[in-house]
Amino acid sequence: MEPELRSFLAENFLLGEEFRGLPGSASLIEAGIIDSTGVLELVGFLEETYDIEITDSELVPENLDSIDKVVLFVGAKRNSGRTT
């Protein structure tokens, strides 16, 4: 799902060429890629695209603040069978 996620971020947040080189481990907030509204949009994208429901307790940087973390988190959610 990483290419799909990168594509969403690039298109939704109008990111330029430099985004291509962003390491998967980089903080999306610290890199200035997303802000609080961006988190809202990212959560909506993940829920809709991957048919998962993200609970309030899961809205933490450990799950959502880098491409690597998002990939791991969504993968775990889908594997756990807690899809809607």
Where does this chain bind other proteins (CB under 8 A)?
29, 32, 35-37, 39-41, 43-44, 56-57, 59-61, 64
How far CA 60 is from CA of 7, 15, 16, 63, in Å, comes to 22, 23, 26, 6
Please say whether the beta carbons of 45 and 74 come within 8 A. Answer: no
Minimal distance, residue 30 CB to other proteins, in Å: 10
CB closer to other proteins out of 24 and 44:
44
Minimal distance, residue 3 CB to other proteins, in Å: 22
CB closer to other proteins out of 59 and 72:
59
CB closer to other proteins out of 40 and 72:
40
Which runs of consecutive H residues, i.e. helices, occur in the chain?
2-12, 36-50, 61-64, 67-79
